[in-house]
């Protein structure tokens, strides 16, 4: 079972706050994450579903723990809730495009230099944010990187 633990607030409740989630030793994805945050369409009504983009993020140097599940195991658990996904090419292949005052500006590399970069994505469809965070927590990269969960506007 996944339960919400203590909230570590770096400088007050705002974007980027960290919520610790403890996982009891139960296999699979049979439990629900505690409510992390609630906002309108992230919790649909009457059996409707919501699409979520999972942004798969890793650092430049990755140490994969030996007990990390493989992607095939995760895909099997997620099943038809995963609509699409892909690994992305390295950040060295990225091009950032900006338009300023009618000029198109191109730069090599990612938009921002950060400790982590987007290495891939998965598009999922599920009942609510709790189910989406449960799926994200089971993703292999969540064991050594991070998975950002964002609802799509439809």
88-147 tens-digit pLDDT: 998 889 898 999 999 999 988 766 667 788 999 999 999 999 999 999 999 999 999 999
Domain annotation covers residue 55: yes
pLDDT band at 45 (very low <50, low <70, confident <90, very high): low
Query: CB–CB of 138/29 below 8 Å?
Result: yes
Task: Give the pTM.
Answer: 0.70
Per-residue pLDDT at 73: 94
Question: Residue 96 maps to which CATH number?
Answer: 3.30.70.1060
Note the maximum CA span of the chain: 56
Domain membership flag for residue 137 = yes
Domain assignment of residue 15, yes or no: no
The torsion angles phi and psi of 142, rounded to 5 degrees, stand at -60, -20
Q: What is the pLDDT of residue 60?
A: 81
Contact 26, 56 (CB under 8 A): no
pLDDT of res. 47: 74
Q: Given this model, what pLDDT does residue 111 score? A: 65
Contact (Cβ atoms closer than 8 angstroms) between residue 123 and residue 69: no
Q: Is 132 exposed, middle or buried (0-12, 13-18, 19+ CB in 10 A)?
A: buried
Please enumerate in sequence order all residues whose Cβ is within 8 A of that of 38, keeping only pairs 6 or more positions apart, or say none. Answer: 129
Cβ atoms of residues 91 and 117 within 8 Å? yes
Would residue 10 count as lying in a domain? no
Is 89 a domain residue?
yes
pLDDT of residue 108: 86
Residue 7 lies in a domain: no
Q: How many domains does the chain have?
A: 1
Q: What is the pLDDT of residues 54-92, one digit of tens each?
A: 999 998 888 899 989 999 999 999 999 999 999 999 888
Where do the H-state alpha helices sit in the chain? Answer: 71-78, 129-138
Res 119: pLDDT: 93
Whether residue 83 lies inside any domain: the answer is yes
Range of the domain at 90: 39-151
Residue 99 lies in a domain: yes
Q: DSSP code of 101?
A: T
């Amino acid at each position: 079972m996944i339960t919400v633990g203590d909230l570590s607030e770096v400088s007050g409740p705002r974007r980027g706050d960290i919520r610790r989630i403890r996982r009891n030793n139960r296999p699979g994805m049979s439990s629900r994450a505690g409510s992390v945050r609630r906002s309108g369409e992230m919790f649909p009504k009457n059996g409707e579903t919501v699409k979520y983009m999972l942004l798969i993020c890793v650092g430049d140097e990755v140490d994969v723990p030996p007990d990390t599940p493989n992607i095939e195991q995760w895909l099997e658990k997620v099943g038809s809730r995963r609509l699409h996904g892909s690994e992305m090419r390295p950040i060295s292949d990225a091009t950032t495009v900006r338009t300023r005052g009618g000029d198109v500006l191109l730069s090599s590399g990612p938009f921002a230099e950060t400790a982590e970069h987007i290495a891939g994505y998965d598009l999922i469809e599920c009942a609510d944010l709790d189910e989406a965070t449960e799926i994200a927590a089971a993703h292999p990269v969540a064991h050594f990187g991070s998975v950002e969960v964002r609802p799509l506007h439809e």
